[in-house]
């Protein structure tokens, strides 16, 4: 195996690992954000004015819905990136084995 192919495989491995790490980090940060919104929602439940509380509850559900939509979009894009890096890595390794 020549040095250029070894380097290409190492770079492809790093790209794949970075894509997987990015996907994990995005899911973790989005989950933390959603937990924070829920914590704010539950802390606002002690407000005595029912109409004021209703606005906060509605706002929190809107924020949760938007963040869930954002998570889904980002996950879809990051899954595409992970698959692309995985295919590239397999092609490099497969061409080296033949």
This prediction has a pTM of 0.59
Residue pLDDT tens, the chain, 98 long: 577 778 888 888 888 888 888 878 877 777 777 787 777 777 777 777 777 777 777 877 887 788 778 878 888 888 888 888 888 888 888 776 65
Cα–Cα distance list, 34 to 14, 21, 24 (Å): 30, 20, 16
| Residue tagged 């869930």 (tokens) | 68
- Which domain does 39 fall in, by range? 3-97
Q: What distance in Å separates the CA atoms of residue 88 and residue 9, rounded to the nearest whole number? A: 9
- Token pair in block for residue 56: 């906060």
- Token pair in block for residue 31: 């989950």
Domain count, the chain: 1
Q: What distance in Å separates the CA atoms of residue 97 and residue 89, rounded to the nearest whole number? A: 12
């Amino acid at each position: 195996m020549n040095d250029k192919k070894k380097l290409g495989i190492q770079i492809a491995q790093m790209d794949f690992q970075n894509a997987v790490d990015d996907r994990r980090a995005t899911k973790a940060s989005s989950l933390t954000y959603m937990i924070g919104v829920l914590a704010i929602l539950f802390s606002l439940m002690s407000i005595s004015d029912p109409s004021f509380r209703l606005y906060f509850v509605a706002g929190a559900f809107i924020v949760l819905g938007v963040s869930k939509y954002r998570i889904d979009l980002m996950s879809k894009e990051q899954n595409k990136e992970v698959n692309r890096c995985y295919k590239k890595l397999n092609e490099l390794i497969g061409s080296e084995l033949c």
